[in-house]
Chain A
């Protein structure tokens, strides 16, 4: 049997996604076990992402496995020295599963084709980050009780945000309606709007968060980064237009939750943290359960 890897959320059928989310719920109830006893997981971070690495390592440790690996903080080393092919073949001798983050797009797919053990893509450049999408789905399912026909309001950088693109593609399986709130320069790219059009799903675009905030079941906040703007003046104009404050939440749906892939900068004011609708830190914890479920699924242990 061919080794099963997770490179892109599209690799999973809807049934497989639901299975992973169900397993994640089991790990949430009972996160500690010894199911990975004797197993070694390699975390190969060719670029740093402390948050993602810690989440994976926590997941492995809670299941009684061991972690080896590296984080490479000098981005230049990717283009010189050992090929990815050689690194993967070498690490195959040491580990039962590879978690890999790499700045080059398509690197995870390539690694999965070389590797004799499962590869989990923990981000390949601007391309895919499927475990983030699965933990987002888990957070949505857990807080809303369903994934069907929800209203999701995506806010901030919708142009370059890999997370929102993957979530959009995944959630479109459940007839979601979307509101996109972004400055002109960072609007949702046409290819994703076309994708929704082809599926006959509704979306609405606006630059004003207040216009759509009360319709939302989920508000998905993202960072608006200065370096995305060709004109720094443009950034100065919009940087405060996409900030969420507690007073804006008074008329929102009672069960609405606010998600954010973290780290945040200033786009969610700290006065929101105490509100029941703030869910981003729980969302990060859900990441551990979801990754436990993904690892066990790929190793065929559950």
Chain B
């Protein structure tokens, strides 16, 4: 791939097989790591952040060796990295490209912005129905209040 061989893109080393997640906003890199549980797996992971991007300001990139994601798992990052692009690598070649899309329900990722919501008082797994995808608006399964993009907080 032309992009992949661009010297500016090779600030982190290439992987033999696994997944490269590109176009993550630099500001949400660590949220992406947390949502995907990358801080808890033993795979080799390299990441770069505050990289220049022509399209979206400072971006970050993550390369995870030997790891392939299901759509349901990867779509969980759409809340914080809506423009993320995945390159699936086998034998140093990009064999597939994928984009993320906001799922219809969000479980255990976002915090309800309503201070009077039960999820902010007791150990309750948060659940939301996505009522708008762009900009993101989430309706709490419990208090039924809307949490919008601006007030969105990742747990």
* Chain A residues with a Cβ under 8 A of chain B: 8, 79, 83-85, 103-107, 109-110, 124-128
Q: In whole Å, how far is A288's beta carbon from the nearest beta carbon of chain B?
A: 27
| Contact yes or no, A84 B141, CB < 8 A | no
| Contact yes or no, B142 A110, CB < 8 A | yes
CA distance A127 to B143 in the complex (A): 6
The residues of B that contact A104 with a CB separation of less than 8 Å are: 116-118, 121
The residues of B that contact A126 with a CB separation of less than 8 Å are: 116
Q: List 26 A-B contacts (CB under 8 A).
A: A83-B122, A84-B121, A84-B122, A85-B122, A85-B123, A104-B116, A104-B118, A105-B114, A105-B118, A105-B143, A105-B144, A105-B145, A106-B117, A106-B118, A106-B119, A106-B142, A106-B143, A107-B142, A109-B141, A110-B122, A110-B142, A124-B143, A125-B143, A126-B116, A127-B144, A128-B144
Contact size range, B: 10 to 19
* Binary A-proximity of B95-115 (CB < 8 A = 1, otherwise 0): 000000000000000001010
The verdict on B140 contacting chain A, using a C-beta distance below 8 Å, is: yes
Q: Is the interface of A mostly helix, strand, loop or mixed?
A: loop
| Contact yes or no, A105 B122, CB < 8 A | no
The verdict on B124 contacting chain A, using a C-beta distance below 8 Å, is: yes
The residues of B that contact A106 with a CB separation of less than 8 Å are: 112, 117-119, 124, 140-144
The residues of B that contact A125 with a CB separation of less than 8 Å are: 116, 143
Q: In whole Å, how far is B108's beta carbon from the nearest beta carbon of chain A?
A: 15
CA distance A79 to B142 in the complex (A): 18
Across the A-B interface, give the 3 residue pairs with the lowest CB-CB distance, nearest first: A106-B142, A105-B143, A106-B143
Pick the residue among B121, B123, B143 that contacts A79 (CB under 8 A). B121
CB-CB under 8 A for A109 and B142, given A104-B116, A125-B116: yes
The residues of A that contact B140 with a CB separation of less than 8 Å are: 106
The residues of B that contact A124 with a CB separation of less than 8 Å are: 143
CA distance A71 to B5 in the complex (A): 70
CA distance A127 to B139 in the complex (A): 13
Q: In whole Å, how far is B142's beta carbon from the nearest beta carbon of chain A?
A: 3
Among A103, A106, A124, A126, max chain B CB count under 10 A is at: A106
The residues of A that contact B119 with a CB separation of less than 8 Å are: 106
CB-CB nearest in chain B for A191: B146
CB-CB under 8 A for A110 and B124, given A104-B116, A105-B114, A105-B118: yes
The residues of A that contact B144 with a CB separation of less than 8 Å are: 8, 105-106, 127-128
CA distance A88 to B2 in the complex (A): 60
CB-CB nearest in chain A for B144: A127
| Contact yes or no, A110 B116, CB < 8 A | no
The residues of B that contact A8 with a CB separation of less than 8 Å are: 144
The residues of A that contact B116 with a CB separation of less than 8 Å are: 103-105, 125-126
Pick the residue among B118, B141, B145 that contacts A107 (CB under 8 A). B118
Q: In whole Å, how far is B101's beta carbon from the nearest beta carbon of chain A?
A: 24
